[in-house]
Amino acid sequence: MELIALLSTGKGTWAQVAGLVKYGEWDNIILLGDDFAKEFRADRKTEFIKVNLDKKLKDLRDEFVKKLKGKIKGTEVALSLASGDGKEHMALISALINLPVGVRFAALTKEGIIDL
């Protein structure tokens, strides 16, 4: 399964994403964020896609669709929304549904990675 993770402002929110990247068994990892998110470092190979998180909701959704189209190989992805705000989350979920691709929410807990 592929992991899609949003990296928004606030490095403190990146720990959840870092744990998912490090401990998950992913076929592919796609990270989405703005220029600030380029600072994120992972222990594994990831693909970073730069997006403008300051856009209006529909425009951000359209940018996610455009930049993710053809990048997702399977029919379902694990999604981390630990970082970001409601507008960014809504735009990304809507983009994935419109691609279309199924979504399973992933989180790192003390017990390991769980699907929600």
pLDDT at 86 exceeding the cut of 80: yes
Domains of the chain: 2-115 (3.40.50.2000)
Whether residue 31 contacts residue 44, with contact meaning beta carbons closer than 8 Å, is answered with no
Do residues 15 and 40 lie in contact, with contact meaning Cβ atoms separated by under 8 Å? no
Residue 45 has pLDDT above 70, yes or no: yes
Contact 4, 74 (CB under 8 A): no
Which stretches within 33-99 are classed as H helix? 57-68, 86-98
Q: How many other CB atoms are there within 10 angstroms of residue 7's CB atom? A: 26
Confidence band of 27 (pLDDT split at 50, 70, 90) = very high
Confidence category of residue 36, pLDDT binned at 50, 70, 90: confident
Percent of the chain whose pLDDT exceeds 70: 97
pLDDT surpassing 80 at residue 12: no
Q: Is the pLDDT of residue 9 over 80?
A: no
Residue 11's pLDDT is what?
61
Residue type, 49: I
